[in-house]
A = this chain, B = another copy of it.
Amino acid sequence: MSNCEQCIVREFSALKTLTKDEVVSMSKCKTASTIKKGEALFVEGENVNGVFCIKEGVCKMTKLSANGKDQIVKLTQRGELLGQRSLISDEPANLSAIAVEDMEVCFIPKSEILGFFNNNNAFSMSVMKSVCGDLREADDTLVNLAQKNVKERLAQTLIYLEDNFGVFEDKSLKLQLSREEIASIIGTATESCIRLLSEFKKAGLIELQGKKITILDKVKLKRIIE
């Protein structure tokens, strides 16, 4: 059992506010596990009963729409906590969490987290800030979906992927999503997404090679967003 003390998640999440004793206590009750690409950490409607720490990998938070299509609401990565909202609201998850890369996670049971809330005000405030950050991002995404057209949203998403998940040595995006997944982020049909990617390629903005996407002209791409 590895010690939580040195974990990357402690560096970036609300867990940074825990005392040494609290970290020791958490180390004892956590459960580590590996999640393969495509597998779910939890699904919409499920009682999560705790929080996941993402040590490695990226997952998509999705919600099933009435028309049967999944909408990607958010991407969550290494260093972040998952399932806070559900725990605080004491409700089943309103989103599913599906790995888009192989992941390493730890599960911390609800009782442990509630203990931190009761005894450590800094932790409460830190989690609250994190949820507020999520709310702000959700509001921004919402406005983009409502006010920008599909081309603008695609350009924005490509830049978001480069800025937040980085590029390989060959400049291609590290996070390799399927066309369907990209379409599900921007809220459009897969065909429309593919068509616009082709259009961007013809215009020399990006390069496509299988799943690899490389941004060639970020400036022009940004100009599309406005």
Contacts and interface: CB of A to CB of B under 8 A. Distances in A.
Contacts of A118: 121
Nearest to A118: B121
A124 B131 contact: no
Contacts of A186: 146
Contact of A63 (B88, B125, B133, B139): B139
A142 B73 contact: yes
Instruction: Say how many copies of this protein the assembly contains.
Output: 2
Interface residues of A, number: 43
A147 B121 CA distance: 39
A142 B138 contact: yes
Interface in A141-176: 141-148
Contacts of A1: none
A150 B135 CA distance: 24
B89 A143 contact: no
Given A117-B121, A141-B142, 15 more contacts: A65-B144, A66-B148, A69-B147, A71-B147, A84-B132, A85-B132, A85-B136, A88-B125, A89-B133, A128-B131, A131-B135, A138-B142, A145-B145, A145-B146, A145-B187
